[in-house]
Amino acid sequence: MSRLAFRAAAAVVGVALLAVYLTAALFVADLLRVLWAARPDLPVLLALLAAAALGSAYLSYRLGTAQILANLEGDRVPRERAPDLHRRVDSLAARMDVARPKLYVTDARAPNAFAVGGGADGGALVIDRSLFRLLAPREIEAIFAHELAHLEGNDGFAIAMADGIGRSLVGIATVVALPALLALSGLAAASAWIRGRPGDRSGPFARLHRALAGALFAGFVLATLVARSRSRKREFAADDRAAEVTGDPVALARALRRIERATDPTWSFAPFSTHKRTDEAVERWLSTHPSTDERVERLRERAEAQGPTRRIPAGPSRTTAGRGRARR
């Protein structure tokens, strides 16, 4: 095929692509225009959008909680099987403004505990069996108090709602911007084909498309960062509440250190572990938990303010990021 014939064929392809993308953009724009024309009064519209965002976040929270409990590799523990465990939790719940949670013991082979749910149903407290081998009784009680503090503050619900509302707002913005995204994508592809460079995305339309898509992605990241920041603050609040209820911040600090040491691998392939430490600021911002070092330091200061206490074990020199969704 001669160069002239290739340029002609490429131009035809470019025009066809432009027609397809612009048709799709016009269809979406017309659909949005119809929806906007049929909108109720502004206060009613805002109320409906808020209700939809809240409803979506709540449904996601409830389904997520049910899925976590359904996927547990463990069983619910009745009182007759572990009366001492139930007495400990009953005692803490009586000292806190929280309904008594359901108890689950798992065999995840990683020392951890986390709380899910909350509110009127009391939620659930999930404990890995290895904690009972790793921690002393006072340390186990401190970890339980920390998790009950999450249930007391209904933290899981609050964080899920904040995250869900943020994502809903970004989703609405994306729908509104969809016609522009489609049009810019079509213009970028068409101009590249017409210029005889199908893979070139350096033109002005491509740059505009990337800028708009980047702005939407930045909104998604911002919503995530706000939710994660809220989660880290609630971890500090739960630490403070546990120290207040037990009167022993040292026990919680020691428990956090023991769990950290048990979950941080020391073997030669540790860099490939999901539990590896990180000094990256972005990863720390995206973490649901503050570093263990930071939490232990706050507990140490609280213990010193209370008076002479037992020594808190020193931690590693580097900051350790919080671990995923499981709440300690």
The model's pTM is: 0.76
**Residue 254 CA to chain centroid, in angstroms?**
26
Q: Are 299 and 252 in contact (CB under 8 A)?
A: yes
Tokens of 275: 């539990």
Strand order in 113-116's β-sheet?
74-76, 102-106, 124-128, 113-116
Domain assignment of residue 77, yes or no: no
For the record, the structure tokens of 304 come out as: 């010193």
Print pLDDT tens along the chain (328 aa). 577 787 788 889 889 999 999 999 999 999 999 988 888 888 898 898 889 888 888 888 888 888 888 887 778 888 888 888 899 999 999 999 888 899 999 887 778 899 988 766 678 899 998 898 899 999 999 999 999 999 998 888 888 888 888 888 899 999 999 999 999 999 999 998 888 888 787 889 999 999 999 999 999 999 888 888 889 999 999 999 999 999 999 999 999 999 988 876 543 433 333 334 555 666 677 787 888 999 999 999 999 887 655 555 555 433 333 333 344 4
- Residue 102 falls within a domain, yes or no? no
> Is 311 inside a domain boundary?
yes
List, by residue number, the catalytic residues: 147
* Residue 4 within a domain: yes
Distances (CA, A) of 220 to 57, 135, 163, 237: 15, 39, 10, 26
pLDDT tens digits for range 191-235: 988 888 887 878 899 999 999 999 999 999 998 888 888 899 999
Cβ 320 vs Cβ 293: under 8 Å: yes
Paired residues of 127 in beta bridges: 105, 113
Q: How far apart are CA 157 and CA 54, in angstroms?
A: 11
- Does 222 map to a domain? yes
111 part of a folded domain: no
Q: Does 121 map to a domain?
A: no
Question: Residue 23 domain-assigned?
Answer: yes
- Quote the number of domains for the chain: 1
For residue 163, give its domain range: 1-71+138-328
Backbone phi, then psi, for 114, in 5-degree steps?
A: -155, 160
